[in-house]
Amino acid sequence: MSRDTTTPDDAAAFEAAATTSGTATSAGENIPGDLLPLCREHICPVCPEKAQADEQRLRALADLENTKKRLQREKDEQVRYAAETVLADLLPTLDNLDLALQYGQGSAECRNMLVGVEMTRKLLLEALGRHGLEAVGEAGEPFTPELHEAMSHEDRGDMPADHVATVMMKGYRLKERLLRPAKVTVSRTPG
């Protein structure tokens, strides 16, 4: 917002000075000495408003940049984990394939079917792996609460305490995000 406080007498005096001494420049080098304070008097009331407007403009630009960066981060995160819900919905299917393989191991009649189930499981894991899914929880590894859910303790003399004794249900991770912790039994020293 600029305020025009120039009176007709001031404008006439300024124009007369400009025509007699050359053109006026923004630096004030061709403005006669008696008109220079008059020009500054009309400009200076605007200075605090201009400084405030400049500060507001800089803040608005900084806010805009921060918003752009935040939105880009959120978009990258959404793209990175877009398949999370679909992959999480497929985990029970993997569990059922694992159970079918586990329970059919001793049966001679099921051998051909188990080969097909194993191939299906392998293809599904490969496809999901291309999207960043990986299994977590192996027997013998140290128990980690971030990756494992302890279902019970098991006295084991053949492994150190606080290690995964048995994996009851595999856990899965999508890139760095855990979709489901592995359900395990944790070893402890008998005694």
pLDDT value of position 43: 61
Topology annotation, domain 84-188:
Nucleotide Exchange Factor Grpe; Chain A, domain 2 (2.30.22)
pLDDT greater than 50 at residue 38: yes
**Per-residue pLDDT tens over the stretch 106-127:** 888 888 899 999 999 999 999 9
The token pair at 163 is 């290690």
The DSSP element (H or E) to which 88 belongs, if any, is helix 84-103
Q: How far is CA 191 from CA 17, 54, 119, 187, 188, in A?
A: 106, 75, 43, 12, 9
How far, in Å, CA of 111 to CA of 46, rounded?
A: 90
Half-sphere exposure of residue 57: CA atoms within 13 angstroms, side-chain side: 6
pLDDT of residue 51: 79
What are the residue ranges spanned by the domains of the chain? Answer: 8-78, 84-188
Q: Give the global pTM.
A: 0.60
